[in-house]
Amino acid sequence: MRTELFPGIDWVGAVDWSIRDFHSYMTGRGATYNSYLIRDRENAIIDPVKHLFFERWYDNVTRLAKADSIKYIVCNHAEPDHSSGLEQAVRAFPNAQILASQKCRDTIISYLGGADWNWKTIKTGDQVSLGSRTLSFIETPMVHWPDSTFTYVPEDELLFSMDAFGQHFATAERFDDEVDLAVVMEEAKIYYANIVAPHANSVKKALGLAGGLKIKMIAPSHGLVWRKNPAAIIKAYQGWAANQVKPRIVVFYDSMWESTTRMAEAIVDGADQPGLFVSLIHVRRTHLTQIATQFLDAAAFAAGSSTINNLLMPAMAATLTYIQGMRLTNKAGFAFGSYGWAAKGGPDQVEEYLKKGGYNIIQPTLKFPWRPTPALLEEGRKAGRLLAEKALAATNP
Ligand code: FEO
């Protein structure tokens, strides 16, 4: 395995090949907890790893440097997938000082204790010299926790970006040019949609700060290092953070006896216009991680539910709650669905979710009793054509 980013700077992290659930995020390709070792006059580690992987991490570090030679451990982020190995690390690297922002230090202490550990708090603009290299710190709050920090090495134009620009992608390779770029970009999009999307404004600020830096390589705390294509992932983040949409329509729904399914299909029929990509998603058969990823850059959507016990279908409630958390209001949409003996039910509740989410609701809720008639299905096709019109206008102004 090639681990060298630059002479004297190596990846020393851990690969979690079998993880499939990361606090509800379906990690179909596993994950990595990246950590980097800089060997200089003073040796420094950038980020610990998840505590379950401490031994692998320790082995990777000590293959290259003696444990007592580690002078600094930088903590760019307090979330336990990175910081939980610190408790073992303070014993294993007895001469290391922990460099972290005040918020990062406080959060790690809340999780692990360690108020008496050897801390040095850092803030934006602080620098620590390792000899021939410098660690320069930039706080990037809410990308995606309050403690998030970038560490930059100006001599190599290397940005350690913690979760930003990351992907959950377990591989034996370490660099973007060693795997299919389309797959790395797909995983980066899934990561952005499911972890970073609610914090678009903070991402914009961080991109502004990083925009003043010369960047030759980006080393995130998950997945592949952007050695060949750092500009591509920065450009993708600029688009996502600006809430740019693609000519894409997503119709997602759940159905009891296929009445809402029939209407969903009619909407797709009407929406399927040249230049548009239309997806139909049955939410009870599709993971939230995939739904969120398709929703991220869709220009328009329709959300449907039949009625169960006077309420919407539970999987639709979960989906609408999850996408509401993404805080994306750049979409045109409407609600639809069926009901039985209770005149108010699933479709009305979907409408309530859409109102709360702040979306641009482009037509009254398309609701109907029991089974959609041919005339109602034609209404669905008409609503689909309206979605297509809105989607094309949003992406081709
Ligand atoms: Fe990879 Fe926000 O932790």
Ligand 1 in contact with 379 (CB < 6 A)? no
Instruction: State percent of the chain over pLDDT 90.
Output: 96
Write the residue with the smallest CA distance to atom 3 of ligand 1: 79
Instruction: State percent of the chain over pLDDT 70.
Output: 99
Contact 392, 384 (CB under 8 A): no
Q: What are phi and psi of 173, to 5 degrees?
A: -85, 160
Who's near 23: CB < 8 A, 6+ residues apart? none
What 3-state class would DSSP assign to 23? coil
Q: d(Cα 302, Cα 292) in Å, to the nearest integer?
A: 14
Q: d(Cα 381, Cα 270) in Å, to the nearest integer?
A: 4
The alpha carbon of 369 and the centre of ligand 1 are apart by a number of angstroms equal to 46
Please report which confidence band the pLDDT of residue 397 belongs to, taking 50, 70 and 90 as the band edges: low
In the predicted structure, residue 211 carries a pLDDT above the cut 90? no
What the block records as the tokens of 89 is: 């690390």
Mean pLDDT of 102-117: 98
Q: Which residues pair with 360 in a beta bridge?
A: 332
The pLDDT of residue 383: 98
CA distances from 369 to 30, 252, 327, 341 (A): 44, 19, 32, 8
pLDDT in tens, 318-358: 999 999 999 998 899 999 999 999 878 999 999 999 999 99
CA distances from 331 to 168, 190, 318, 380 (A): 27, 19, 19, 19
The alpha carbon of 279 and the centre of ligand 1 are apart by a number of angstroms equal to 30
What the block records as the tokens of 349 is: 């509740």
Q: d(Cα 179, Cα 165) in Å, to the nearest integer?
A: 16
pLDDT in tens, 71-102: 999 999 999 999 999 999 999 999 999 999 99
The alpha carbon of 81 and the centre of ligand 1 are apart by a number of angstroms equal to 6
The pLDDT of residue 1: 72
Mean pLDDT of the chain: 97
Angle at which helices 200-211 and 230-241 pack, to 10 degrees?
140
Cis peptide before 144 (omega within 30 of 0): yes
Write the residue with the smallest CA distance to atom 2 of ligand 1: 79
Mean pLDDT of 264-272: 98
Domains 4-241 and 249-392 share a fold: no
Q: d(Cα 152, Cα 89) in Å, to the nearest integer?
A: 23
CATH number 3.40.109.10 is the correct assignment for the domain at 249-392: no
Ligand 1 in contact with 163 (CB < 6 A)? yes
pLDDT in tens, 28-77: 999 999 999 999 999 999 999 999 999 999 999 999 999 999 999 999 99
Contact 188, 16 (CB under 8 A): no
Contact 130, 101 (CB under 8 A): no
Mean pLDDT of 210-229: 96
The pLDDT of residue 209: 86
Q: Which residues pair with 250 in a beta bridge?
A: 279, 301
User: Which runs of consecutive H residues, i.e. helices, occur in 7-79?
Assistant: 54-62
Nearest Cα residue to 302 out of 381, 244, 245, 241 = 381
| CATH fold of the domain at 4-241 | Metallo-beta-lactamase; Chain A (3.60.15)
Query: Lowest mean pLDDT: which of 21-35, 273-287, 344-358, 383-397?
Result: 383-397
All structural domains of the chain with their residue ranges: 4-241, 249-392
pLDDT in tens, 136-154: 999 999 999 999 999 999 9
pTM above 0.85?
A: yes
The pLDDT of residue 396: 59
What does 62-108 look like in DSSP terms, one character per residue? HTTS-GGGEEEEE-S--SHHHHTTHHHHHHHSTTPEEEE-HHHHHHH
The alpha carbon of 74 and the centre of ligand 1 are apart by a number of angstroms equal to 15
Ligand 1 in contact with 254 (CB < 6 A)? no
Mean pLDDT of 290-319: 97
Q: d(Cα 253, Cα 92) in Å, to the nearest integer?
A: 52
Catalytic residue numbers?
23, 77, 79, 81, 144, 163, 191, 222
